[in-house]
Structure 1
Amino acid sequence: MPGFVGAVQIINVSTGATFNIGDVFQIHPISYAKTFAGAGSFNTGEGIRIRNDYSSTNSYDADGLDQGILLNL
């Protein structure tokens, strides 16, 4: 059943998001990311003290290609 929508103001739609107004059968937002992080990168909290002497992130990816997302429904 169709619906009527009033005024809509879109400020921001991020890169892996979808925005829909109206009737929809299926929505498939697809995104991918590859993250490399060194020691102590994802620490959260209050008053954390971290000491990583001579830390490095070695991100050698030997395969060259990752799994595709073309037909992931």
Structure 2
Amino acid sequence: MPAVVGAIKVISVSSSSIFNVGDVHTMRPESFAKTFAGGGSFNTGNGIHIDLNRSTTYVNDSDVVDQSITD
């Protein structure tokens, strides 16, 4: 069934988003990221006390592509 679309105002479209107007069969956004963080980096909550006296994070990633995304 055809879609009837009125006025559209696009403010921003980021790299991992989809902008579609009208009918669509499949929408499949793809995004990937690699995150390196030291100890205690992703802790959340109230009143957290973290003591990482000589914490060090070493990253040695010599390959360029870890996993490619293909259709």
Question: Normalization by structure 1: what TM-score?
Answer: 0.79
Task: Name structure 1 gaps, 5 residues minimum.
Answer: none
Q: Name the residue aligned to 1:9.
A: 9
Q: Name the residue aligned to 1:50.
A: 50
Question: Normalization by structure 2: what TM-score?
Answer: 0.81
DSSP 3-state at the match of 1:17: coil
Q: Displacement, 1:25?
A: 1.8
Q: Name the residue aligned to 2:18.
A: 18
- Same amino acid, percent of matched pairs: 51
Computed over aligned residues only, the root mean square deviation of the Cα atoms, in angstroms, reads 1.5
Q: Name the residue aligned to 2:38.
A: 38
User: Partners in 1 of 2:15 and 2:43 — Cα distance?
Assistant: 25
Q: Displacement, 1:67?
A: 1.3
Q: Please list every run of at least 4 consecutive aligned residues from structure 1 whose deviation after the TM superposition is greater than 6 angstroms.
A: none
Task: Name structure 2 gaps, 5 residues minimum.
Answer: none
